[in-house]
Structures are given as C-alpha cells and as structure tokens.
Amino acid sequence: MNELVAAVPWLGKRNPTAARWLIIIVAIAAPFIAWQFGRSWVRILDFALLYMMLALGLNLVVGFAGLLDLGYIAFYAVGAYTFAFLASPHFGIHLPFWLILPLGAAFAALAGIMLGFPVLRLRGDYLAIVTLGFGEIVRIFMLNLNYPVNITNGPQGINMIDPIVLFGWDLSRNIRIGEDFTINSLFLYYYFFLAAVAASILFIQRLQISRIGRAWAAMRDDELAAKAIGINTRNMKLLAFALGATFGGVAGCLFGAFQGFVSPESFSLMESIAVLTMVVFGGMGNIAGAVVGAFALALLPEILRDVAVPLQQTLFGHVLLDPEVLRMLLLSLAMILMMLLRPAGMIPARARYCHDHHLSNTLKREAAK
C-alpha cells in the first residue's frame, strides 16, 4: 500500500494520507464509473483484478527472487481446474468455496515446488526455457487428459462450475433491494476480488520487507554472495516458486468460479507472456508496478478495442484487424515504448525494501543519545 501511495503522481509525496484515501475511493467507485459505459466494463474490471493478482504473484518470483518464469499461467490453470473438479457436475462433487480455495492454493504451491526442483541450478535464459516448457506441459495435460479416463474433459473444458458462495451468500445472483434497485452480481465479484487483491498486496508487502524478502533480493543480486552469508538458496528458491504459485492458484480458483467455465485455451503461452508483460511494464520488483501494469494492460486493449472496431467499420466498412490480434499488437507496442522511454518500468522499483519506521526509529534513538 505504501508503495502504491508513493506512486500516485504529485499527491503521493506531498500528502500520503490524501493519496491513500484517493486510492481507496477510486478502487471502491471504479465499478460504478465503469457501469456507466455498460456492464461489460464491470466485467473487464473484474478480470483486471484477477490479472493484478497474477501479476503480484509473478512479480514475487521474477521481481523479488529474480527467477524468470515464462510458464506462470500453469499455476492459474491448476487453481482453476482444482475448482472445476471440486465444484461442478463434471465429477458431481460440490465442495464449499472455503474448502476449495486453500486446496487450490496448496495444489498450485505443490506444482510450484515440482517446477522448482528441476530448475534449481538454472538461471536466466535456461530457466525461462524450462518454465516455458512446464507451462505448455500443464496445458497439454489439460487438453489431453480426457482419454482413456476422462479427467479434464479435454478441449471442451468443464462448464457449469459452481459460483462463489460466501456463507450461504451467492455472489452470482443480483441482489434486489426494494422494487427497482438491484446490485449486479458483477459488483459483488468486483468487491470480493478487490478484497483478495488487497490481502495479496498486504501479504506480499510483508514478505518483501522481511527476512525472506531480503534473502530473495540478495539471491537475485548475487547468488554466490548470498550463499556465502548463509542463505540457503535452494530453500529460498523453492519458497519463491511455491509462494508465487500460491497466488496464481488462488487467482485461478476465483477465475474458475467467476467464469463458470474453464478450458485449456484460457491458459496458453500468450497468457503467461501477457502477465509477464504486465510485471515488466509496471516495473519489476515493485508491488505498485505490478498493480498498475496489470490494470493498464488489462484495460487498455479493451478500451482500444472498443474504439478500434467501430473506427475500422467507419473507415473501411469492415473490420480489418481482429481485436485479439490487436491486443498482442498493443502489448508489443507498449513494451517497445516502455523500453525506449522508461526502461525500468512505469514505476521503477525502489531500492529500499526494509521497514522505513524501523530505520527511522533507530536513527532517532541514535540522535537522542
């Protein structure tokens, strides 16, 4: 949160309290603003929040621990399929949401460790290639595990997944208050996802400025020196993979329940790259960067798509460029612009990770002596 506050232009440094409230108000008011443009925009906001969670989790692996992961979407898939298996007519199991969420997180963490073990000694390009392969393996498993025993239902995917039910309160139903006032289910999901993202930010921030976060940063900056001061780099790498995957798994659970349908095609390599682009675009190793990057890159293509399709129809009479093609085009364009103008991302990572107040307290005590 502090990083986010500091990232608010102009206000962030002058009046952090005001900036904090501004962020809270904007976050709460966002779906109401989006609603004015149509319900699909609220849906896009919901997805933006899921992408934020993914970007936060991937940022932990890539930005904090310096382990380039090109297969991150596999953990999202593990979470989504866990939810689909345990809460849909596919196997006829309908477990409660609060039970599946930790299970999904745990399975994803396990997948993270499974990926982590073989790549412990790899760095940089080699690591990227292996993780890329891992992501594809998971997707291909999902695609082909419908024969001889039908587990994943193959390319058709699994549908009619149960919605999120919190203590008997179904988030997929609109709430009707009185005669003519309803709260759309998209709003309910928005606020639930917002709470999840807020919790993720809190946890990841705590990790970042802890003993563990410092060990990751040390490992990222110089692995040999990290070993020489007694950091068990093997465990710390596995921990980074497992924790990063956990956030992906939780986001996947939420995605499965929200969408009501999962299929392997949602977890392609392009999605991994899109999430990585968000992290890099926002600024690696930086919570605010991941949030802003995810928000910008989830929303911008949709806005431009909304503009581009009617624009093309007016100009050429028909649509020349498919919106999906346009999306990748825009992501690439964003990356090129970023490399030229802000090589460290929209919000470059601050160098300092430690508790500001610890230091300032110490310094104050020193001055008092």
How far is residue 315's CA from residue 214's CA, in Å, rounded to a whole number? Answer: 54
Q: Give min distance, CB of 366 to another protein, in A.
A: 7
Considering the complex, state which of residue 143 and residue 212 has its C-beta at the smaller distance from another protein: 212
- Residue 82 neighbours by CB under 8 Å, 6+ apart: 100, 103, 104, 107, 108, 249, 252, 253, 256
14 vs 369 by CB, closer to another protein: 369
120: contact with another protein by CB under 8 A: no
CB 268 within 8 A of CB 72: no
Q: Which residue has the tokens 């499974």?
A: 114
Q: Could you say whether residue 368 binds another protein (CB under 8 A)? A: no
Q: Report in angstroms how near the CB of residue 213 gets to another protein at its nearest.
A: 8
Site string for another protein, 223-262 (x = CB under 8 A): -xxxxxxxxxx-----x---x-------------------
The reply on whether position 212 binds another protein by CB under 8 A is yes
Compose the 44-83 pattern: x for residues touching another protein by CB under 8 A, - for all others.
----------------------------------------
CB nearer to another protein: pick between 125 and 366: 366
- Residue 66: closest CA among 251, 241, 230, 229: 241
Phi, psi of 127 (to 5 degrees): -60, -45
- List the Cα angle 77/81/87 in 5-degree steps: 150
Minimum CB distance to another protein smaller for 185 or for 208: 208
Please give the C-alpha separations between residue 259 and each of 44, 143, 172, 251, in angstroms, as whole numbers.
12, 18, 10, 12
Q: Is 214 in the site for another protein (CB under 8 A)?
A: yes
DSSP E strand stretches across 9-142: 87-88, 93-94
- The smaller minimum CB distance to another protein, of residues 233 and 268, is found at 233
Contact call for residues 125 and 70 (beta carbons, < 8 A): no
333 lines the binding site for another protein (CB under 8 A):
no
Residue from 2, 15, 210, 268 touching another protein (CB under 8 A): that is 210
Residue from 13, 221, 321, 337 touching another protein (CB under 8 A): that is 221
Which 3 state secondary structure label does DSSP give 121? coil
- CA nearest 126: which of 68, 191, 186? 68
- Compare residues 332 and 362 and give the one whose CB is closer to another protein: 362
Instruction: Check residue 358 for interaction with another protein (CB under 8 A).
Output: yes
Size of the site for another protein (CB under 8 A): 36
Cβ closer to another protein: 282 or 285? 285
- Rule CB under 8 A: is residue 211 a binding residue for another protein? yes
C-beta atoms surrounding 286 within 10 Å: 26
Query: Is 1 among the residues that bind another protein (CB under 8 A)?
Result: no
Half-sphere exposure of 191 (CA within 13 A, CB side): 12
Residue 185: partners with Cβ closer than 8 Å, 6 or more residues away = 171, 172, 173, 174
Quick one: 106 or 328, whose CB is closer to another protein? 106
Q: Name which of residues 335 to 354 contact another protein (CB under 8 A).
A: 349, 351-354
Q: Which residues bind another protein (CB under 8 A)?
A: 203, 206-207, 210-212, 214-215, 217-218, 220-222, 224-233, 239, 243, 349, 351-355, 358-359, 362-363, 366
